[in-house]
Structure formats: C-alpha cells, structure tokens
Amino acid sequence: MSVPRSRILDLMKVQCRIFSSTFNPDRTRTGNKVLRERLKGPSVAAYYPRRLATYKDLKNLYPDLETWDEDEEDRLEHLQFLKQRGKGAPKKKRTGRGEF
C-alpha cells in the first residue's frame, strides 16, 4: 500500500513550516544554503590593518610642507638612468587630427 504523493507533499510542507526551512519539493538548486550563511565582508575587512597616511597624502593635505619621499626619488632616479641608456618607456603615440 503506497501513500499518495499529495499526502507526502502536505507532510513536507508542515515539516518545513515547523523547522523553518524552505519547501522545495522539486529539489531545484535555489542557493538558499549560501544565502543563509553569515556575511564574510566585515571579517575580511577587519583582517587587514587600516591604511595609515602616506607621503602622498601628507603632500596633498599640506602642499606648503617640504616632504621628501625616498622611495619615489629612487624610482625617478632609476627611470632617469634607464632613459639615458635608451631603455626607458617608449614615447606615447601622438594622434591628432590628420596625423598618424
């Protein structure tokens, strides 16, 4: 003796209502499991330390203040040496009206 499908579906509806789960008789993938999870954004953001002020930020805030960024100076000096040797970045292509 088999139980009719409608009776089983009614039982599943009641069961889902009692245990506060979603009623999905066709077992289609709805993404409910992912949506029920805790959000990861705040914990990931808290993992990395807060960004402190950089030389660039200070220079923008106080343009009159004389600041010296050693890393930036080293980079510019390196680029200057590369350009002298002919190993620097190529010149940008100028494409005005009619020029190619």
9: which residues sit within 8 A by CB, 6+ positions away? 25
* Confidence at residue 99, expressed as pLDDT on a 0 to 100 scale: 58
Q: Using the predicted structure, report yes or no on whether residue 100 has a pLDDT greater than 70.
A: no
pLDDT band at 22 (very low <50, low <70, confident <90, very high): confident
Residue 94 CA to residue 100 CA, distance in Å, equals 7
Q: Averaged over 7-16, what is the pLDDT?
A: 94
Q: Using the predicted structure, report yes or no on whether residue 41 has a pLDDT greater than 60.
A: yes
Q: Using the predicted structure, report yes or no on whether residue 59 has a pLDDT greater than 90.
A: no
Q: What is the pTM of this model?
A: 0.37
* Confidence at residue 10, expressed as pLDDT on a 0 to 100 scale: 94
Which of these, 77, 80, 78, 56, lies nearest to 67 by C-alpha position? 56
